[in-house]
Structure formats: structure tokens, C-alpha cells
Structure 1
């Protein structure tokens, strides 16, 4: 049947249940596909129309272009030819023909308004062509035309009075079209070593034409051109090396550096847009053109120049001016051959090693590095210092320059600081302090917010440079020079008077304490000094180093008033101690974990940060109390209760033979945990165990005898200086493995003494004690080791003639038997009678000591004698010591305090303090007649007799550090019967005096003196 009304187009509806759903989905899918197909058809039609339109336009353009080219060939010099040239932009052949014709004919065409508009556009085409192909055969002609158009002298010669106006107009137009960026591209596209390229002599005048054109009447355009020069031309690598000598001289003469002050307002913006590598090259190129002009530059130009240099350096990452070799990284700086020290070395000793990855730094050409090094040369710094002495010059900018160099270029900081100190004889330090730092608000206000206020940013470089300079001066300043009289102007002296040092050190202490005590340690660790890349934590470390150096001098020979260094009031001491102990417990680490650095500790614990960095801010007795609390906490962790004797049976029992104490101690204590109590049994000459129970007294006897033997200088491990102070033997004999084991054992023994609070009658040299604390030893420490060498180095430091006349080099003879500069002896390591010469630096035997490097020689010689010769011995000793005592506990003290901690207070015995802390047993009490007589007798004793009594009862003749209240157990007296013939006896294990009830004070005195000086009456029961 044929449908009558077109039923074939009617929608077919499925009424068959689930099948209808499937049909519905199929309909929707089909409709979507049809819609997509219609869209594709429409898109293809539109694309076809666009292609057709483009083709028609291109076809017409080609026709027009051919007509324009033909018309150009008919009238190259005319206005139509110029118009065709501009319209057919980018045709190098046409541009070359036009420029060649203009140059050869010597004319640029008719001077009409329309020509002026076209010639500006043609100049842009010439500039772009030169930028892309500066070595093409057309480039010289292009440059000649540009030079003629921009030269007011040449345009005036052709156009008369209208010439300068034409040059100015074209110059403005070119600047708006990236004139200096295109010139920079042109220079960059010429290889650096191809100085004979014909374009180069023609490019150089174009660099300064805009400056010449705008110099007199257009200050805004002049500043814009000057700024563009610094933005695009000065960042060119090796700019002076790109130019032939004649062009370099021309550019140097034409650069108007005397007017560089016009860019002063734009320096922050300029620095912000330049990448790191470009900043380095700007500095390098400025150093090539500016220093010879220093004397002739006006003060404003010098100021702007320094502002620019400082701003560029402050925006650079460290080491950007001297990048390390590829694949290297910067490790925490440590002194050579002294890896256990955290103290920074002078910068010329910085080394690059593999550790944390470096920031991305540009690889610099050796010629750029060589030019950068002129910035830190003594002659350059002296010249810069001289020109900034002008009254109209902002002198602090010179200080900012020195500070920035030392911060950004740490490998050169040492030489910069040393030369600055040496060349001025300390005058720069005095000028900085008296002129600027003394009146600075920094350190005068105890408010942390005020201290870190950006309003004080300009004061920080002056203060920090002073701390660096003075700290550098102290490295090679002897105590005689430090304490010399200001009035004696002929003798070398301290740049600052002692009164000034008192004020300056307090100012630094205020700042350091605030930065350590500040609750927001994250801000200190991560925040930076406003305007500088230096972090606050680095500021704190600089100030801390200088503070520690000044305090070390005050410790040896006090010059500050009482309580000068203390920052905690008496009301805060108790809470400080409790909080410090809690923080220490919180920082306890699992066995084997990597020790925390002082910076990490400061971040986690402000109080421990103070104790480990500026401990002198806390009174000594408070620190001793904290130390004892740390030890007690550690004992508790090891299950030791020093106040209880219940655990005697669990003590580690060690048997030692009389006469072989050190040998048996070395062998039997090797694998013993010395943190736990020891029970000593003495074996007599017959092989029998001596009677008695070790309640601590036998151990004290063993320990005392052990120390006498191991520190005997006849054993070859230790030497003494003229003050009978011990230090490790530097001879190679002492570095043999067996002897290093002995040093390790002795370290454990001394650690046990500190751990138990046992005083040891041993005195160590100050420079060796400094190593216990992770500190370095310098020239001032050398006097205690080698007075003759010390005096010789002081003589060299202040030698007014040429040091090279002394024929000294950077090498040292081990035994002093031969000159250090004898050829062929360098690196000769032969012992036992044959001298050996050791280089103090690579190839040191061939490096003479000069006026410029003598401070480096003094430092290296001191470092060798005080540190390098005993490095292995000290390292082994500290390994043993650190098994017993956490090194950070010792950092709470200085050398003198550590000696007191080891040997006790060499002070008079306070009888009243002893009496107030004495307990009685048996029939005795405070009012018993024998006790009254006893104290009367003791009061009549001189100090030697009192020390003998104390040694008799406790085995130690010095009073406890914190007074007799700290003696454990307390000093005790118990009655020992009525016999008048019996001598007093003592049990040193419990600090007990057994005193018979004598009938008279005279008898008591006689018997007591006989007992304490004869050694009789030792009782272990």
C-alpha cells in the first residue's frame, strides 16, 4: 500500500515495552550524530571561505609587493623608493640596496615632512636588520646611516638648524622601538673573539648617541636612555673584551659616568628585572669602566655607583660571583683538618664539597672572574675608600659595599676584612664604631619588635661589618696588643679602648639575647634582614662569634664590670633552670641519631640556644646547676640513683693490681659502661684481694691514681707548657693506633670524672680546652704553647719593612732545625732526627710571605701549631669524652670555667659554709664539746691545713663548685670512742670523719694535724 499523505516521514513509535527504551536511545544518538555532521559541514564551509579570502589577499599582496619592488628599483633615492622600502618591510635585499645607495651618494633624500616620517620607520628596519645579522655585508652601511641620523653634528651639516631636531625625533622613535635591546642583540650575535668584525667600530658610537642628544635639555629622556643602557648593554658578558682597543677607548671616553646619578631613583626596579647572570655581568662591566675615573667622578655619581653595586650584590645568592665547579655543593664551612668544629673559618679557607645541592648559578668565563677579583683587591678598596672620604659623599655606602662583598662573596671575605684592617691599622674599626655604631639604636632597646623593625635596616650593615672587622682583627691580635694603653701611640694597640669594648659588647649581647630568646624562632630562622639576602639567623651568628671572642679575652684577664655579661635576673633564675632541663629532656634523641646542630637547638629551645651560644649571659653557678641536672637526668635514664646504696650488688666489679692501675684500667674498662657505678677491688702484691667494701672511696682512690699515671708526661702522650698545663703530644708517635686508643680511653676517664662530679687535679692548656667546646684557637692562644713563635708572629705582623726581606714562606719545619724554604724538603715526612717541612697551604714552600698575605700566614701558622698537629689525638680524646658527656653540655662553659668544672674552685675554704652543711652521727650534735672544739681548731687552720682536712675526708682538697651544699653525701662527723691516743680516721666513700671524743682542744688539734698530713687512718669500713 502506498502512503497517501507522506506517512514515511512520520515518527515511528514503539509501544513494545523495554524495546521502546532502546529505540528512544537510538533516536537520540542518531539526532546527535546528525547535528554534529551539520556543524562539521558548516565549519568546513567557513574554513574554505577563509582560505579563499587569504589566498586572494596573498595573491593581491604579492602583486602589490612586486609592483612596489619594481617602483623601488626605479627610484631608490627618491621619496617613492623610500615609501616602497617602508611598505615592503623585511626585504633585506631592498634594504641593502637602499642603504648602499644612500651611503655611496652621501645623501638621504629630500627633506620633506613625509620623508621625515618614512625615515624614522626606515631607521627601525635598519636597526632590526643589524640586530639579526650584524656580520652581514649590509650591516656596515646600515650602521653608517643610523650613525649619521643620530649624530646631531652630521644632521646639522646636511640640514642646518633642522638637523638636531631630526636626530632627536629619530632617537625618540628608536628608543620607543627597543633601541638598546636591538643593539644588545647585535653585540650578542657577534662572537666575542671576532673583534675584527667591521660592524663593531660602527656599533660603539650608537651606544652613546642618545645620551649625547638628550643630555642638555631632555632630562627624562636622558634618564630613560641611561637606564636602558644599564638594562641591555651592561649585562652583556665580557663587554670590554668584545671591542677592538680603539673602540674600547672610544666607548670609555664617551660614557657619561659622571651623570650616572640620573638612574638613582630607578635602581630598585632595574635590579628587580635583571636575572642573576645579568647582574653579575653588570658588576663586572662597571668594574672595567668606572674605577679609573674614581678621582674625577662627582660625589653624586660615586654614591649612585655604590648604590647600584650594593643593590646588585645584595640581590645575588652567595657564591654567585665565584660559582663552584659543576656538581659541587656548599657544605657547612669548617676549618680545614678540624672537622669537629662548628666555628666558621676565615673565608679564604672555605671549601666546596658534596652536601646540599647548590642554587642554580651561572657558569662564568675566566675573564669575567678575573675582572670581578679586581673588586676585592686592596688597591681597589683603598681607592674606593679614598673617594668616599669626600664630605659630600655618603660614607656609609662604602661600608655597605664592604659588607655586601663579604656576604655575597664569602670566599673573598677574609682577604677583604684582613686588608681593610691591615691597611688602616684599625682606623676603619674606630671610624665605624665612633661615627655610627656607638649612636645606633640597635641593641639599645630590649624590644625584639624594635630590633627587627625595617626602619632600622640601614643601621645593620654598619653594625655587622664592624663585628666582622673586629672579629677578624682579633684572630691575629695578641693579648698584649688587646690590653695595650691607648696613650701609647707608637705601640700596636687595640682599635677600640676597653671602655668602648664594654659598651660595644653589651650592645651586641642585648641583640644576641633577644634573637636567641625570641619566641618566634621560625621568623629568625627564615626571615631576612630588610634589603639584604642575609637571614636573621646568620645575623645572630655573626654577632655571637664576635661576642664569644671578646668574652674570651675578658675571661683570661677581666676588664668588664661585675655582672656585665648577665642577662637573667635573680627572680628568673629558678624558672630558667627548670625550663632548660625540661627542654633538654624534650630534645633527647634515639641512640645513633645524628646530633642536632646549635642552630637546630636554638630553633627548638630558646634557653638551650642561649646556653650553647652565649652561655655567659647566665651566671656560672646557675650553669653548673643545670649541668648537674642534665647529668642526673641521664643517670635516671640509665637506671642509676647516686643517692641510693641499695644497688651496690649490681655494680660492675673491676679488679686492678697495685702498680698496674692504668694498664688494668685500660684493658678492663674498654667494654664497660662507665655511666653505671663501678666497684673497684685492689689486688695486692701477693695476688690477694684487699679487704674492705667499696662504697665509693676505693673508686676515688683508683681514679686518682689512674689520673696520675695516664697524665704522666714521661709516657709520651702529653706535654706541658711553661705553666705546667697539659696538651696532647704533637709527635707522630702519638698518632699510632694504640696511642690513639689511649687518648680515647683517657677521654672516657675524664668524662667519668665530670659525670660523677669527681674533681681531678689536672690542668689543661687553654687552647686544648677550647677544642672541648668546639671552639677554635688563634694567635692569642699561641702564647701559652710556644711563646717564641708567638713573639715572632707578632713581630711579623707589625714589621714596617718589606716582609719578603725576611725570606719566610708558607711552610713550617717540624723540628725547626732547617729553614722552611729549603728546596726539595716540602712534603718530606721523615721522623726521628730528620727534619721535615710541611706546607701550610698548597705549594706553600714556593709562596713568599708578603705585606698583603702576612695575616694569612700568621693565621695558618697558628692553626697548624694549635690545631692541625694534634688533630688525630684530639679527635680520639673527644670520641671517648663524648661517650660520657654530651658535647652540647660542655658548650655551656668557656675554657676557664671548664677547668674549674674539672678541678674545682681554687678558692679559700669557707668554714662557715662547711659547718652549716655538716651532719653529725653517734653522740655528736652541733653543741657537743668535741664538735665545738673541732670547729675552733678548724677556724684556726690556714688554707693549706683546711685543704688537707678536706682532702683527708673527701679525697679532694678543693671545695665543691656550688658550695658544700652540693657535696654528696654531706660532710659528716661521727664519734669514734673515748681513746685519747687514737687518731681521727675517715671514710672517703661517704665523706665521713670519725673523730674520737678528745678531752682538750690542744689534743684534738695535734691528733687532727697528725692524721691529715700523715695519711694515716684511711678506713674503708
Structure 2
């Protein structure tokens, strides 16, 4: 079973894992003990040992870990689906899930966490059992599955444990039907379901939520009225935070925003729904601006600053940022604000492994790895104790990692404890209050359980668009609307599509960002862009002989990003259109409000 990664054979073990689900089977008891011990071992094995030093020091090789992952994966998928079909592998008399299945689920999750940070298994391994079982993506969005998922989500919130929530003994919903089994699987082991199917599941959950609240119906047909408020552009962060936190139960309604200019005057224009998008984009950009101190940066990603609470209005602004992020997800608004992986795990209510310290402070992470390799005398010579020094705007404070930590020296015997305590302090204790405030705002719109369907990298794709960033011109054209007199047969429109097809990937991304404020397409294609991309005709004068070389339209294209609208003058020559469009895009000129 120790198959090389390049092989796609053998990842679904089928009935071979059946005996492991029998609680009276010796093989089941042996496997359960092995899975529990190995899961515990993985908590102290760092990524260097797992990937580079594998096969030595008691750590399995990568091929062996692939085999272990395949066993756990097949056992979890086949076991849960069998529960739903009421087959022999159904609930034992104790009405608890088989211990082997529970242990396999925990070990499977730990191995997938490694794979998500640095792939060693590949997607085929995780997907094979469910595909072999005949699951199709449309099964996930059936009403029965959505209802079961809601019920299990409520139960998990009570016991704070996805697996325990499935035990009838915990007063929750048993895995007694095929729909409940599929819902349980996507919660416990979402990596076993294709990413695209999970994206559609999230959208189905949001659609069901919106239908329940009648959010997409006009008031005349029983829908709720929009929530109206004003925001001064010069005080966007303060006004926006106050408005979002006052929404209360109305947070999921459409926001009817009135922007006020620098002179205190309401901006001209009629809000047809696009100003909600502009408000969310600009508010999130304002609060995540590193200069305001609410967020800090890790590489290209951001996370709430541990010092946010010490800033004036810091907690309300951070909570409002969580509301805005949840609102953007609920409305399908893309935000180019990548979140740090360790922060995403906090949002999801998951433990943050010590290895995530690398993305927060790479130098500290390397120092701690080095500490693991030093001899006892060198460790003693470092004169470390179980304390950590923190900086609060220039004021140094010393905090204990354990009770009485100032009197506990770091030795070769307890250095693993020190390493994990220090990583936990940086990733959880120090960041915890800020992350909790942000999450409190997010949960007002989106249940945290929905976010646990995705890895941190996948969630960032949901927020900001497809990871590849490749813009499919044909897909964009199929889902484009026209206004102002343009149709898909207009000569300027044909010239626009011709120019876009010939542009480089970078130029296409720049044009998309110019018109929509985001450079990447939504997951699943432009059918999910909200509002739809629109090309609007701008009346302009040109010589009747422009096509033969006379003076063409001199205006630049403009954009209303709040409505994803490109305002395109009626250029006569294709060369002029390309020149003017790229000039407008590269100079950032031409944004206005309709």
C-alpha cells in the first residue's frame, strides 16, 4: 500500500476497511490504538521532521504516510456512508460512532493539515473513495442534505466537536440517513469532497438562508426594506463601523448607502444596489490599511493586530470588519484581502498548530527548530525560562507561558513543552482577543461551521476569486450585459472583445480590476459575479471618416466599480479603443458614479 505519489491506484480501499469498523474485531482495536498514538505523535513532529527527515527517528516515510492517509480516508468515507445506509457497519449498541472511525477521522484531519500546508498526498487520494462510491456534486445541494447539515451544525456548536456531535448519546442528530451521512462527511472530512462541489454547497446554504429571510424579494412582494445609512467618505472607518454594528438583526438586508463628500453634501446618483458593494470594498480596505494599526501583515496576508484593542475605537472597528467580511461572502462581493492561514484557523474555531508560526515569524520558527537539535549543555547555557517579552507601543512587558514560568528554566527535558507553549502564546494567546472580536462580527452573518468546509487557502479563494487568476474571455462575454444602446453586435463591443482576447494575462487582469475593483474572476466563473459585468455606451463625437483615419473619439473609458460597469465610448477604430482603454487602466483614471 506504500504507493508512490504519482500513482492513482489503490487510494480507495473499499470493503477492505470493513473489519476495522467492527468494535469486536482485534484488528479494529489495534488500528484504533495505532491511530490515536500516531495522531498524538504528529502533534510534536514538526514539518522538517515530517517532510525532510521522514523514515528516521520513528517517523514514517512519505510513502507510508500516504498509505496511512488512504486507510483513514477510506475508513471515514465508507464508514459514514455505511451508517447512512443502515448497513452492518451501523451504530453499535452504545449508539456511539465506532472508535476506529473516530480515531481515523482525527488522524485523517491531522494528515490533511500537513498536506494543505505542503502537499505530499495530492487531491486524488482524498477524493477517490467518495468518487468510487458514486457521489455526484448535485447530491450535496439536495434539500435533505442542507437540512441535515443545519441540524448537525447546531449540535456541533453545543459540544464544540464535529465528531462528538454525531453521537446520539450527545443528544444530537444521528447519522441515520444517506443525506445525514453525506452532511456528516462534508463536515468531518471536507477534503473528501471536490472543492468546486463544496463551493456550490456554500452557495446553496446562502441561497437557502436568503430565501428564508426573503432577502431577494422586493418589499412589495413581502421582502424586507433596505437598511439606509449615511457614510462620510472622510470618516469611512468610523461611520462605517458604527453603521454596521447598529444593524443588529437587519445585518443580512440590502444596505442602501448614501455617501457624503468632503463638503458634507450627499453625492449625486441613484443607488441601484451597487453602492453596497462599493461600501463593503472601501470599508474593508480602510480597516485593513496597515497605517491605521487594526491589522498587521504576514507576507501578503493580513490578520488582526494584537494591539488593536489599545487603539481608540479599535474593538468596534475590528468587530465591524468581521461583519463586513461576512456580508461580502453572503452577497457574493469579492474582496482582495488575503487572510493569514493561522488567522483563518482561528476564525474556523480550529486549533492552530505550531508549524503555522512560520507564516507569522519565520525567524522565530527557525530558532525554535534549532533549539530542538541542541545538546543539553548548550540549552542550559542559553539561560531561557518559560516567559516571553511583548511590546505594547514601546512599553515592554513580561508574560509567563506557564504558571510560575519565570522560575522554570528551559532544559533539554522540557524544551518541547517550551517550544509549544511559546508558539501557542504567539498564535493563540496573543492574537486570541483580536481574533475573537473579529469572529464575533463575522458570526452575525455567516455561521463559522460553513467556513470549516474549506482550508485557509480555499477560503481566501472564496473571498478574492480563483487562485489561478486566469480570465476566460469567452466566459466573461457569455455573462456580460449591455446598456446605453450597446448590444453584443455593436462595432465598439466587438472591438473590445477582440482587444481583450489579444491582451496579455496581466493586461486582462488590469482591465477587470479597473471595471470591477478585483483582478480575479469569481470561483465557478463570471456567472457568479455580482452585479453582472456590464458594458455601457457613452455618447461621444467622432468624425464620420474616423474609420479611415480621421479624428476618433478622444474620451477615455471610465468605470463604475460599484456596479461592475465599464463605460465605453463608441470608438470607431479598434486601435484607438485599445490605446485609450490601456491608458485609462494603467493611469487609474476614469472612476465615477452613476
Shift in Å at residue 595 of structure 1? 7.9
Who is 1:726 aligned against?
302
Mapped to 2, the partners of 1:747 and 1:1014 lie a distance apart of: 32
Who is 2:544 aligned against?
none
Greater share of helix: 1
Q: Is the 8 A contact 1:583 1:608 kept in 2?
A: yes
Mapped to 2, the partners of 1:649 and 1:585 lie a distance apart of: 24
Shift in Å at residue 611 of structure 1? 1.8
Distance 1:886 1:834, change over 3 A: closer
Shift in Å at residue 923 of structure 1? 5.4
Who is 1:467 aligned against?
35
407, 431, 439: which one aligns with 1:878? 439
Mapping of residues 789-800 of structure 1, within 5 Å: 789-800=364-375
Shift in Å at residue 931 of structure 1? 3.0
Distance 1:458 1:1012, change over 3 A: same
655, 662, 669: which one aligns with 2:237? 662
Shift in Å at residue 712 of structure 1? 2.3
Distance 1:735 1:459, change over 3 A: farther
Normalized against structure 1, the TM-score is what?
0.50
Q: Is the 8 A contact 2:556 2:590 kept in 1?
A: yes
Who is 2:478 aligned against?
916
Shift in Å at residue 736 of structure 1? 7.7
> Which secondary structure state, in structure 1, belongs to the residue aligned with residue 251 of structure 2?
coil
Give the RMSD, CA atoms, in angstroms: 3.5
261, 273, 280: which one aligns with 1:684? 261
Q: Is 2:69 the partner of 1:505?
A: yes
124, 130, 145: which one aligns with 1:580? 145
> Which secondary structure state, in structure 1, belongs to the residue aligned with residue 60 of structure 2?
coil
State the structure with bigger RCO (CA 8 A, min sep 6), 1 or 2: 2
Mapped to 1, the partners of 2:99 and 2:27 lie a distance apart of: 16
Q: Is the 8 A contact 1:813 1:835 kept in 2?
A: no
Mapped to 2, the partners of 1:521 and 1:727 lie a distance apart of: 45
Mapped to 1, the partners of 2:58 and 2:318 lie a distance apart of: 39
Shift in Å at residue 1006 of structure 1? 1.6
> Which secondary structure state, in structure 1, belongs to the residue aligned with residue 14 of structure 2?
coil
Shift in Å at residue 949 of structure 1? 1.6
Distance 1:903 1:521, change over 3 A: farther
Q: Deviations over 1:499-532 (max 9, x none)?
A: 222222111101111233321689989638xxxx
Shift in Å at residue 448 of structure 1? 7.3
Q: Is the 8 A contact 2:70 2:125 kept in 1?
A: yes
Q: Is the 8 A contact 1:810 1:841 kept in 2?
A: no
Distance 1:960 1:443, change over 3 A: closer
Q: Is 2:556 the partner of 1:997?
A: no
> Which secondary structure state, in structure 2, belongs to the residue aligned with residue 499 of structure 1?
helix
| Residue correspondences, number | 557
753, 757, 761: which one aligns with 2:336? 761
> Which secondary structure state, in structure 2, belongs to the residue aligned with residue 970 of structure 1?
coil
Q: Is the 8 A contact 1:611 1:891 kept in 2?
A: no
Q: Is the 8 A contact 2:231 2:258 kept in 1?
A: yes
Mapping of residues 276-425 of structure 1, within 5 Å: none
Distance 1:726 1:876, change over 3 A: same
Shift in Å at residue 978 of structure 1? 5.7
Mapped to 1, the partners of 2:577 and 2:562 lie a distance apart of: 23
> Which secondary structure state, in structure 2, belongs to the residue aligned with residue 681 of structure 1?
strand
Mapping of residues 505-904 of structure 1, within 5 Å: 505-517=69-81, 518-519=83-84, 527=92, 536-566=97-127, 567-569=129-131, 572-578=136-142, 579-584=144-149, 598=162, 599-600=164-165, 603=174, 605-641=180-216, 650-672=225-247, 673-721=250-298, 723-731=299-307, 734=309, 738-802=313-377, 805-806=380-381, 808=383, 811-815=386-390, 835-904=396-465
Distance 1:850 1:537, change over 3 A: farther
Who is 1:478 aligned against?
46
Q: Deviations over 1:400-451 (max 9, x none)?
A: xxxxxxxxxxxxxxxxxxxxxxxxxxxxxxxxx99xxxxxx99833477544
Q: Is the 8 A contact 2:332 2:529 kept in 1?
A: no
550, 566, 584: which one aligns with 1:1011? 584
**Greater CA drift, 613-622 or 578-587:** 578-587
Q: Deviations over 1:945-980 (max 9, x none)?
A: 212221232222211011112223432334434632
Mapped to 1, the partners of 2:506 and 2:158 lie a distance apart of: 48
Q: Deviations over 1:759-780 (max 9, x none)?
A: 2221222111111122111221
Distance 1:644 1:998, change over 3 A: farther
Mapping of residues 178-189 of structure 1, within 5 Å: none
Shift in Å at residue 874 of structure 1? 1.7
Unaligned runs of 5+ in 2: 4-9, 167-172, 542-552
Distance 1:782 1:1014, change over 3 A: same
Q: Deviations over 1:925-962 (max 9, x none)?
A: 44443333222100121222212221232222211011
Shift in Å at residue 454 of structure 1? 5.7
Q: Is the 8 A contact 2:400 2:406 kept in 1?
A: yes
Distance 1:953 1:568, change over 3 A: farther
Distance 1:511 1:587, change over 3 A: closer
Shift in Å at residue 719 of structure 1? 1.8
Shift in Å at residue 782 of structure 1? 0.9
Shift in Å at residue 641 of structure 1? 0.6
Mapped to 1, the partners of 2:557 and 2:58 lie a distance apart of: 57
Mapped to 1, the partners of 2:407 and 2:436 lie a distance apart of: 31
Shift in Å at residue 857 of structure 1? 2.2
Q: Is the 8 A contact 1:748 1:881 kept in 2?
A: yes
Q: Is the 8 A contact 1:971 1:992 kept in 2?
A: yes
Who is 2:59 aligned against?
495
Normalized against structure 2, the TM-score is what?
0.84
Mapped to 2, the partners of 1:885 and 1:956 lie a distance apart of: 22
Who is 2:545 aligned against?
none
Shift in Å at residue 899 of structure 1? 1.4
> Which secondary structure state, in structure 1, belongs to the residue aligned with residue 258 of structure 2?
strand
Mapped to 2, the partners of 1:853 and 1:445 lie a distance apart of: 43
Mapping of residues 41-120 of structure 1, within 5 Å: none
Q: Is the 8 A contact 1:695 1:989 kept in 2?
A: no
Unaligned runs of 5+ in 1: 1-432, 435-440, 817-830
Distance 1:499 1:587, change over 3 A: closer
Shift in Å at residue 893 of structure 1? 0.6
Mapped to 2, the partners of 1:685 and 1:485 lie a distance apart of: 61
Q: Is 2:560 the partner of 1:961?
A: no
Who is 1:452 aligned against?
21
Mapped to 2, the partners of 1:987 and 1:724 lie a distance apart of: 27
Shift in Å at residue 613 of structure 1? 1.5
Who is 1:24 aligned against?
none
Mapped to 2, the partners of 1:808 and 1:930 lie a distance apart of: 73
Mapped to 2, the partners of 1:770 and 1:746 lie a distance apart of: 17
Shift in Å at residue 753 of structure 1? 1.5
Q: Deviations over 1:840-873 (max 9, x none)?
A: 2222333333444332222222111110112222
Pick the structure with greater CA Rg: 1
Q: Deviations over 1:863-895 (max 9, x none)?
A: 111101122222211111111111111110111
